[in-house]
Amino acid sequence: MNLQQNLSEKVKEAIQKLYDATLDSVELQSTRKEFEGDITVVVFPMLRVVKGNPVQIGEAVGKYVVDNVKEIISFNVVKGFLNLVISDSYFLQFFSEIKDDEKFGTSLPSEEDKAVMVEYSSPNTNKPLHLGHIRNNLLGYSVAEIIKASGKKVYKTQIINDRGIHICKSMVAWQKYGNQETPESTNLKGDKLVGNYYVKFDQIYKEQISDLISQGKTEDEAKKEAPLLIEAQEMLRKWEAGDEEVVALWKMMNQWVYDGFDKTYKTLGVDFDSYYYESNTYLLGKDNIEEGLAKGVFYKKEDGSVWCDLTSDGLDEKLVLRSDGTAVYMTQDIGTAIQRVKDKPNVGGMIYTVGNEQDYHFKVLFLILKKLGYDWAQNLHHLSYGMVDLPSGKMKSREGTVVDADELIEEMTKTAGDISQELGKLEGYTNEEKQQVYHTIGLGALKYFILKVDPKKRILFNPEESVDFQGNTGPFIQYTYARIQAILRKSDVDLTTSITDDAINLHPKEKDLIKQLELYPDIIQNAANDLSPAIIANYTYDLVKSYNSFFQNVSIYGADSDLEKIFRIQLSQVVGKTIKSAFSLLGINVPERM
């Protein structure tokens, strides 16, 4: 039983013995900074079962707790708040338990627990990844790592949208205007090369629309009759019919894109355990529609189309199969979810990392899967997130003004380099070492800026603001970590020395720091439950602020005794390990020197 549980039990016991009343729950919170104490019992809720003055009740309960809980050494009452002071020995005992625990805060999965599948990225193969994809990838990867750290088996996956008219647009444009260009011949990443032809298609298509309008066509007629679009539609028909030449072109260009994506994922530091391709999954789901018809989950209209009536659930009627028997996106998503559990039978839930414009789609999908009777459908979550804007405005990929992911990462590295040089942070480093650190700082700045914000909120991303060595930023936290490593390198003491729980008196700043460390396991669980990397990010910032306050107010090497010095260096070491652990859950590296 931990201290909080023990306290709750003793407070209930006090109310029972002192007032012959039963208290169902006890409200505990951290003591506010301006009062003496470490943990506060809120007295006001007790007035429901005990009549009297809250201050007098607090005094009586406080005395009982001090007499019956060895870790509590004194108390004070402020209005209806009972502030309890915890002994130094409790904090030192806790510290000795975590000091050498390399996995502190994290939990291992149990054999009985079901796995969670996290889907993220899911790009189209007609263009490179952009800033929106970066937020998607960072969120999905981080949530997967956090859930893993909370003690669950996790599978990371994505579904690649590798078929459809948008793919055929790039293919037609390359075939007509590409002069057999390849990634090798142009020295371009394959996703960029294919993306250029998607933009090229749009340019020519618009020219053709203008020409047709000048010949007397309406805009709607011109859009439908533009020769380039007709060619793309014909190519899609041939692809769906299995035309060998078209399929070979599709395979070649898609492989260029996959290779390009892989390089971006590697640079970004995200990975996947499995891939699903829409070209394989687009026929899935039709059998499940038949099954749903038999169960009465769906119904058929006179024209043969199949629908799901969700009006009694506050939604609308949803088409799941067209009258000609062809699937819609919902059909594929139903089939793909079911297929994933067939592929990984230990999966007990799924998380879809998709922008908030798809909120309604996922409400419908999850409800249909529940109605079909799948038990894992109770554990489906849409990790919905807002858009990312730059100060210059929104992005439009068709017009070639997209904020390219690779270019943004390069720009972040350059910005980190410029600011580091101005501050003289890396004197004595070789150019190669500097570039590596700039990359770590730049990428850390980008990731932290995006992940410290609640996923549901829209972000205005300012690259220069993110690479700041002060405030709630990645570089500020990385710099504190590097400072701790410098302290450890300078250390001349035996860090394996055990500090007994009565060996030293704790400075208030040391106590604050251990209290902050004590929160870490619960922070991981909370972040996993809420699917929010922001909880980890902001905890890490609070930990770093607490450490910096300790560093400025407590002399490490000027300690009064060798034991105090050893303890302070050990405390710095554990804080450093916790920063590194927390940042790894965000996919952020920490430099050993800065």
pLDDT tier at 402 (50, 70, 90 boundaries)? low
Mean pLDDT confidence for 109-126: 92
Kindly tell me if the per-residue pLDDT of 301 is higher than 60. Answer: yes
Mark which of 68, 86, 104 sits at the end of a domain: 86
Comparison of pLDDT for 496 and 396, the residue scoring more: 496
Beta bridge partners of 172: none
539 part of a folded domain: yes
Mark which of 86, 107, 138 sits at the end of a domain: 86
Amino acid making up residue 561:
S
What is the spatial distance between Cα 508 and Cα 545, in angstroms, rounded to a whole number?
15
Tens-place pLDDT, residues 472-529: 999 999 999 999 999 999 998 888 888 887 778 999 999 999 999 999 999 999 999 9
What is the spatial distance between Cα 66 and Cα 495, in angstroms, rounded to a whole number?
34
What is the spatial distance between Cα 169 and Cα 162, in angstroms, rounded to a whole number?
12
Secondary structure of residue 507 in the 3-state scheme: coil
Give pairs for 371-377: CB < 8 Å, separation 24+.
371/292, 371/297, 371/308, 372/288, 372/291, 372/292, 372/295, 372/297, 372/334, 373/295, 374/338, 374/341, 376/114, 376/341, 376/347, 376/348, 376/349, 376/350
491 part of a folded domain: yes
Kindly tell me if the per-residue pLDDT of 392 is higher than 80. Answer: no
295 part of a folded domain: no
What percent of the chain stands above pLDDT 90? 83
Question: What are phi and psi for residue 445, nearest 5 degrees?
Answer: -65, -45
Sheet containing strand 72-78, edge to edge, reads 28-30, 39-42, 81-86, 72-78
420 part of a folded domain: yes
Q: Given the DSSP bridges, would you call strands 299-300 and 388-389 parallel, antiparallel or unpaired? A: unpaired
173 part of a folded domain: no
pLDDT tier at 397 (50, 70, 90 boundaries)? very low
CA distances (Å), 391 to each of 83, 91, 552, in order?
47, 46, 36
Q: What's the pLDDT score for residue 400? A: 45
Unique residue bearing structure tokens 């190519």: 235
Distance of CA 69 to the CA centre of its chain: 40
What tokens does 189 get?
């990443």
CB atoms near residue 304 (< 10 Å):
11
What is the three-state SS of 161-187?
ECCCHHHHHHHHHHHHHCCCCCHHHHC
What is the residue range of 415's domain?
411-585
Q: What's the pLDDT score for residue 399? A: 46
**Cβ contacts of residue 328 below 8 Å, gap of 6+?**
319, 320, 321, 322
Kindly tell me if the per-residue pLDDT of 315 is higher than 50. Answer: yes
What tokens does 428 get?
């004595």
Kindly tell me if the per-residue pLDDT of 398 is higher than 50. Answer: no
Q: What's the pLDDT score for residue 1? A: 65
Q: Give the chain's largest Cα–Cα span.
A: 95
CATH number where 454 lies = 1.10.730.10
Q: What's the pLDDT score for residue 394? A: 44
Tens-place pLDDT, residues 16-59: 999 999 999 999 999 998 999 999 999 999 999 999 999 999 99
CATH number where 78 lies = 3.30.1360.70
Tens-place pLDDT, residues 161-203: 998 899 999 999 999 999 999 999 999 999 999 999 999 999 9
- 139 closest CA partner among 353, 460, 399: 353
Q: Which helix (H) or strand (E) holds 512?
A: helix 508-518
- DSSP secondary structure of 544-571: HHHHHHHHHHS-STT-SSHHHHHHHHHH
Q: What's the pLDDT score for residue 342? A: 97
pLDDT tier at 395 (50, 70, 90 boundaries)? very low
107 part of a folded domain: no
- How many domains does the chain fold into? 2
302 part of a folded domain: no
20 part of a folded domain: yes
- Cβ atoms of 30 and 59 within 8 Å: the answer is no
Tens-place pLDDT, residues 2-19: 899 999 999 999 999 999
Question: What are phi and psi for residue 136, nearest 5 degrees?
Answer: -60, -50
Q: What's the pLDDT score for residue 389? A: 81
Question: What are phi and psi for residue 66, nearest 5 degrees?
Answer: -60, -40
Mark which of 86, 101, 130 sits at the end of a domain: 86
Tell me what the pLDDT averaged over the chain comes to: 93
- Cβ atoms of 594 and 425 within 8 Å: the answer is yes
Burial class (CB within 10 angstroms; exposed 0-12, middle 13-18, buried 19+) of 471:
exposed
Tens-place pLDDT, residues 209-225: 999 999 999 999 999 99
Q: What's the pLDDT score for residue 551? A: 97
pTM: 0.92
Tens-place pLDDT, residues 412-465: 999 888 888 877 767 778 889 889 999 999 999 999 999 999 999 999 888 888
